[in-house]
Amino acid sequence: VIQGDSEIRMKFDQTQNWIGLFGAVLANWMYTACIGVWSVILPVLLMLWALDLFRYQRITPLVARRSIVSVSAFTALAGLIASLQLLEGFDVIPREATGAIGQFLAGITTPLVGRFGSILIWLLITGALFVFGFQMNVRSMSASAQDVMAGLRSRLATMLSYVWTKEPRAASDDGPIEDDSDDQDEDDEPLTDDLEQPAALRRSPFFSAEKRSIIRPRSLDDEPASIIRRRAEESEPDADDDSSADDAGFGQQLSGSVRILRPLPADPGQERPRSAPRTPPASAVPAPPSVDLSEVEKRLQQLHPTKEIALFPREDEETADVEDESEVAAEPPVSIVVERRSKVQDTLFPIEPEVQLSNVTLYDEEIAYKPPVAGLLVDIPDEGAVDDSELEANAKTLQEKLETFRVRIENLTVTPGPVVTQYEFVPASGIKVSQIENLADDIALALKAQGVRIIAPIPGKGTVGIEIPNQHPAIVRFSSIIKSPKYHNPDIKLPLAMGKTVVGEVYCADLTKMPHLLIAGATGKGKSVGINTIIASLLYRMHPRDLKFVIVDPKRVEMNLYASLRDHFLAISPDINESIITSPQNAVIVLKALVEEMQQRFSILAAAGQRNILDYNQRVREGKIKDKGGIAHRPIPYIVVIIDELADLMMTASKEVEEPICRLAQLARAVGIHCIVATQRPSVDVVTGLIKANFPARIAYQVSSRIDSRTILDGTGAEHLIGNGDMLFAPGNTPLPIRMQNAFISTDEVEALCEWIGKQHGYSSPYMLPSINKRSGSGGSSDSDRDALFEEAARIFIQLQQASTSTLQRRLKIGYARAARIVDELEMTGIVGPPDGSRGRPVLLQSESELEAYL
pLDDT of residue 303: 44
pLDDT of residue 9: 58
| Res. 831: pLDDT tops 80 | yes
DSSP state letter for 39: G
| Res. 201: pLDDT tops 60 | no
CA 91 → CA 120, 128, 696, 846, distances in Å?
A: 18, 26, 81, 121
Tell me: do 527 and 590 sit in the same domain: yes
| Res. 252: pLDDT tops 80 | no
- The reply to whether 378 falls in a domain is no
| Averaged pLDDT of the chain | 74
| Res. 489: pLDDT tops 80 | yes
- The reply to whether 41 falls in a domain is yes
Helix 747-758 to helix 527-541 angle, to the nearest 10 degrees? 30
Local structure of 228: helix, strand or coil: strand
| Res. 484: pLDDT tops 60 | yes
Question: Is residue 401 a contact partner of residue 446, using CB atoms and an 8 Å limit?
Answer: yes
Question: Is residue 436 a contact partner of residue 399, using CB atoms and an 8 Å limit?
Answer: no
Residue that wins the pLDDT comparison between 272 and 83:
83
Last residue of a domain, one of 76, 103, 134: 134
Question: Alpha-carbon torsion 654, 659, 660, 663, what sign?
Answer: positive
Q: Which of 318-327, 457-466, 801-810 has the highest mean pLDDT?
A: 801-810
| Res. 254: pLDDT tops 90 | no
* Interior angle at CA 603, CA 601 and CA 605, nearest 5: 70
Distance CA 458, CA 501 (A): 15
Distance CA 479, CA 382 (A): 11
- Stretch among 164-178, 484-498, 608-622, 742-756 having the lowest mean pLDDT: 164-178
Domain residues for the domain of 64 are 34-134
What is the pTM (predicted TM-score) of this model? 0.55
Q: Which of 69-83, 144-158, 502-516 has the highest mean pLDDT?
A: 502-516
- Stretch among 12-16, 279-283, 669-673, 843-847 having the lowest mean pLDDT: 279-283
- Number of domains composing the chain: 5
pLDDT of residue 355: 32
Distance CA 466, CA 456 (A): 8
Q: Which of 208-212, 329-333, 414-418, 783-787 has the highest mean pLDDT?
A: 414-418
The whole-number average pLDDT for the span 788-792 is 87
Per-residue pLDDT band at 171 (split at 50, 70, 90): very low
Tell me: do 726 and 807 sit in the same domain: no
Tell me: do 485 and 616 sit in the same domain: yes
Task: Name every residue whose Cβ is closer than 8 Å to that of residue 629 and which is 6 or more positions away in sequence.
Answer: 607
Last residue of a domain, one of 738, 753, 768: 768
Tell me: do 437 and 526 sit in the same domain: no
Task: Name every residue whose Cβ is closer than 8 Å to that of residue 562 and which is 6 or more positions away in sequence.
Answer: 535, 549, 551, 569, 570, 580, 754
- The reply to whether 346 falls in a domain is no
pLDDT of residue 319: 38
| Res. 751: pLDDT tops 50 | yes
Tell me: do 797 and 752 sit in the same domain: no
- The reply to whether 3 falls in a domain is no
Residue that wins the pLDDT comparison between 183 and 854:
854
- Stretch among 31-40, 162-171, 300-309, 719-728 having the lowest mean pLDDT: 300-309
Tell me: do 589 and 455 sit in the same domain: no
Question: Is residue 644 a contact partner of residue 553, using CB atoms and an 8 Å limit?
Answer: yes
pLDDT of residue 668: 92
Residue that wins the pLDDT comparison between 848 and 561:
561
pLDDT of residue 285: 40
Q: What is the CB neighbour count within 10 angstroms for residue 810?
A: 10
Tell me: do 427 and 442 sit in the same domain: yes
Q: What is the pLDDT of residues 682-698, one digit of tens each?
A: 888 888 888 888 999 99
Per-residue pLDDT band at 836 (split at 50, 70, 90): confident
- The reply to whether 286 falls in a domain is yes
CATH number at residue 394: 3.30.980.40
pLDDT of residue 14: 62
Amino acid at residue number 417:
G
Q: Which of 22-26, 203-207, 235-239, 519-523 has the highest mean pLDDT?
A: 519-523
The three state secondary structure string of 638-654 is EEEEEECCHHHHHHHHH
The whole-number average pLDDT for the span 766-785 is 65
Distance CA 497, CA 487 (A): 7
Total number of residues shown for the chain: 855
pLDDT of residue 18: 67
pLDDT of residue 765: 84
Dump the DSSP string for 353-419. Answer: HHHHGGG----SS-----PPPGGGS---PPPPPPPHHHHHHHHHHHHHHHHHTT--EEEEEEEE-SS
| Res. 634: pLDDT tops 60 | yes
Helix 646-667 to helix 584-608 angle, to the nearest 10 degrees? 10
| Res. 8: pLDDT tops 50 | yes
Tell me: do 620 and 715 sit in the same domain: yes
Residue 744 CA to chain centroid, in angstroms?
Answer: 17
Last residue of a domain, one of 298, 317, 337: 337
pLDDT of residue 614: 92
- The reply to whether 630 falls in a domain is yes
- The reply to whether 148 falls in a domain is no
Tell me: do 529 and 668 sit in the same domain: yes
Per-residue pLDDT band at 163 (split at 50, 70, 90): low
Q: What values do phi and psi take at 81, rounded to 5?
A: -65, -35
How much of the chain is in helix, strand and coil states, percent to nearest 5?
Answer: 45, 15, 45
Tell me: do 603 and 735 sit in the same domain: yes
The whole-number average pLDDT for the span 199-214 is 37
pLDDT of residue 251: 37
Q: What values do phi and psi take at 17, rounded to 5?
A: -75, 145
Distance CA 559, CA 553 (A): 6
CATH number at residue 783: 1.10.10.10
CA 248 → CA 208, 209, 391, 486, distances in Å?
A: 11, 10, 22, 21
Closest residue by Cα to residue 468 from 480, 455, 485: 455
| Res. 357: pLDDT tops 60 | no
696-722 b/e with 16+ CB inside 10 Å = b?
A: bbbbbbbbeeeebbbbbbeebbbbbbb
Q: What is the pLDDT of residues 22-65, one digit of tens each?
A: 667 777 777 677 777 777 778 888 888 888 888 877 888 778 87
CATH number at residue 490: 3.40.50.300
Per-residue pLDDT band at 565 (split at 50, 70, 90): very high
- The reply to whether 546 falls in a domain is yes
How are beta strands 673-679 and 517-520 bridged, if at all? parallel
Is cis: bond before 372, omega within 30 of 0?
A: no
The whole-number average pLDDT for the span 409-427 is 87
Please state, for a pLDDT cut of 70, what percent of the chain lies above it: 69
Tell me: do 735 and 789 sit in the same domain: no
Tell me: do 691 and 568 sit in the same domain: yes
